[in-house]
A and B are shown apart, each in its own frame.
Chain A
Amino acid sequence: AQSVAQPEDQVNVAEGNPLTVKCTYSVSGNPYLFWYVQYPNRGLQFLLKYITGDNLVKGSYGFEAEFNKSQTSFHLKKPSALVSDSALYFCAVRGNTGGFKTIFGAGTRLFVKA
């Protein structure tokens, strides 16, 4: 069975500073990993994914994530945070069989202060 852990309920960062939102995962076989963002009263929007290849993947809005197989982590990063990045961020993992369901972490709320 696959699972995802986001150890921080909330991350606070000042505008212009780098941000990291943490994620660890557990899955049998090759991990397919995703980050999504949710703004208030909206659906989830895809940010980036790791399927194979380079461990550093780049996505929308300047976000990137680093896949670390030995630590089973997939942390989301951005070099310089914007106030508009404030939102709820979900890490997700997909299995390789059955209905290919995607399992989401509990979410991390990011606050970027001006």
Chain B
Amino acid sequence: EPEVTQTPSHQVTQMGQEVILRCVPISNHLYFYWYRQILGQKVEFLVSFYNNEISEKSEIFDDQFSVERPDGSNFTLKIRSTKLEDSAMYFCASTPGLPNTGELFFGEGSRLTVL
């Protein structure tokens, strides 16, 4: 069964450093998302991405965050200058061509620890 893959599974970084989290969505999916989950609690929407541009973003997704689909398969989330409060589990998700009715397919997540 096709799946969303994420790397790294865990990254530890120093405050102020740049971090790139990588995702490979399911190949025929068209809509891509990043979510984060702090301490196993609420799952928070960060950004949605379609046709090589951001469709929607939350207040969390400020100028320190960016997303990119550099090569038609990877979908990356970059945090330019990490803060302690960026420590969280980051999930990539994708849906096929019917974004309103299709369920999200999630990766296993990348745990980011900022020291």
Q: Specify which chain B residues have a CB less than 8 angstroms from the CB of A96 in the assembled complex.
A: 100
Q: Is the CB of A101 within 8 A of B104?
A: no
Q: Specify which chain A residues have a CB less than 8 angstroms from the CB of B58 in the assembled complex.
A: 101
A103, B105: Cα distance in complex, Å:
14
Q: Is the CB of B56 within 8 A of A98?
A: yes
Q: Which of A45, A51, A103, A104 meets B101, CB within 8 Å? A: A51
Q: Is the CB of B41 within 8 A of A42?
A: no
Q: In this assembly, does A102 line the interface, its C-beta being within 8 Å of a C-beta of chain B? A: yes
Q: How many residues of A contact B (CB 8 A)?
A: 25
Residue of B nearest to A35 (CB): B103
Interface, chain A (partner B; CB < 8 A)? 32, 34, 36, 42-46, 49, 51, 88, 90, 94-96, 98-107
Q: List 25 A-B contacts (CB under 8 A).
A: A32-B101, A42-B108, A43-B4, A43-B108, A44-B91, A44-B93, A45-B106, A51-B101, A88-B40, A90-B43, A94-B100, A98-B55, A98-B56, A99-B47, A99-B49, A99-B50, A99-B55, A99-B56, A100-B31, A100-B55, A100-B56, A100-B99, A101-B45, A101-B48, A107-B42
